[in-house]
Amino acid sequence: MGSAKAKLAPVKNVRTADIVIPDRLYFRIGEVAKLCHLPAYVLRFWETEFPQLKPSKGSTGQRMYRKVDVENALQIKKLLYEQGFTIAGARQQLRAETRRKQNPLPFVVTAAGRSELKQVRQGLRDILGILGGRRPAG
């Protein structure tokens, strides 16, 4: 009889909100698998399906997950296992969340506002020129 490793089935009764991520810079795939209660092959598959999950590889070729990668893996697990999304649906949901986070300005910058900003910037350059003993560029 050979000693075969038992496959780790995804644990569905552990909620992702209950998982605490240790405060470290990097995690190996096995550590992330334990944290997320998933087999490593699921994480490797998700790397091919979700562009948000991109661990870097160390000098030995080992996947090195940052804390943000672990958070993304937990978010993917939550979408798939707890909220019942399909892979395509979870990918779309993550894309929409990323777009919402990338639009931080609660106002629209108008052309007139840009013009005023350029004038203020030029005024500041003039002041810097005066303080630095140089003639202002203009």
pLDDT in tens, the chain (138 residues): 444 444 545 545 567 666 778 888 899 999 999 999 999 999 999 999 999 899 999 889 899 999 999 999 999 999 999 999 999 999 999 998 888 777 666 666 677 777 888 898 999 999 988 888 665 555
The reported pLDDT for the residue numbered 37 is 93
The strands making up 56-57's β-sheet, listed across from edge to edge, are 26-28, 63-66, 56-57
The reported pLDDT for the residue numbered 116 is 86
The reported pLDDT for the residue numbered 22 is 82
The reported pLDDT for the residue numbered 64 is 94
Q: How far are the Cα atoms of 63, 71, 75, 77 from residue 17, in angstroms, in the given order?
A: 24, 11, 9, 11
The reported pLDDT for the residue numbered 106 is 63
Domain definitions of the chain by residue range: 16-102, 105-138
Contacts for 138 with CB less than 8 Å, ≥ 6 apart: 122, 126
How is residue 17 written in tokens? 């909100």
Tell me the DSSP string of 35-96: HHTS-HHHHHHHHHH-TT---EE-TTS-EEEEHHHHHHHHHHHIIIIIS---HHHHHHHHHH
The reported pLDDT for the residue numbered 55 is 93
Q: What angle do CA 98, 99, 104 make, to 5 degrees?
A: 100
pTM of the model: 0.62
The reported pLDDT for the residue numbered 84 is 95
Q: Tokens 């013009």 map to which residue?
A: 115
Neighbours of 65 (CB within 10 A): 25
Q: Going by CATH, does the domain composed of 16-102 fall within 3.30.110.60?
A: no
Rounded distance between C-alpha atoms, residue 129 and residue 132, angstroms: 5
The reported pLDDT for the residue numbered 100 is 78
The reported pLDDT for the residue numbered 114 is 79
